[in-house]
Amino acid sequence: MNQQLSLSTFTIEIDRQPVLVLQAKWQREAEEICQEWLQTNLTALKSNGVPLCDAKSEALVRLAHRDERARYREASETSRSPDDIKVVYLVELDGSPSAGL
């Protein structure tokens, strides 16, 4: 029997600040995305002139809260990252009119 797993919505916190929301099948998958792809991008992106993370930042992946899931659903309808992983930022990015990528 072929069972298809639904996606869960996860929030990535950087230094205890919710920064972005994405979907993955498992938390481990979301953590791998955070470590492999997002760490590089988050150091390059800024909010209010401050990088979203640096070498000393602590990242935490957790299940998204209801309001974060709602923002993800709302923003992800029109936003897409280059590698087809939908990422919605919960902070305002410098030089970007919207919170989604």
Domain ranges of the chain: 8-89
pLDDT-based confidence at 5, cuts 50/70/90? low
- Compute how many other C-beta atoms are within 10 angstroms of the C-beta atom of residue 73: 13
pLDDT of residue 12: 94
pLDDT of residue 38: 66
How far apart CA 59 and CA 70 sit, in angstroms, is 22
In sequence order, the 6+-apart residues with CB closer than 8 A to the CB of 55 are: 43
pLDDT of residue 99: 43
Torsion of CA 1, 69, 88, 55, to 10 degrees: -90
pLDDT-based confidence at 57, cuts 50/70/90? confident
How far apart CA 9 and CA 64 sit, in angstroms, is 6
Please give the single-letter amino acid code of residue 85: I
pLDDT-based confidence at 101, cuts 50/70/90? very low
How far apart CA 83 and CA 23 sit, in angstroms, is 13
pLDDT of residue 35: 82
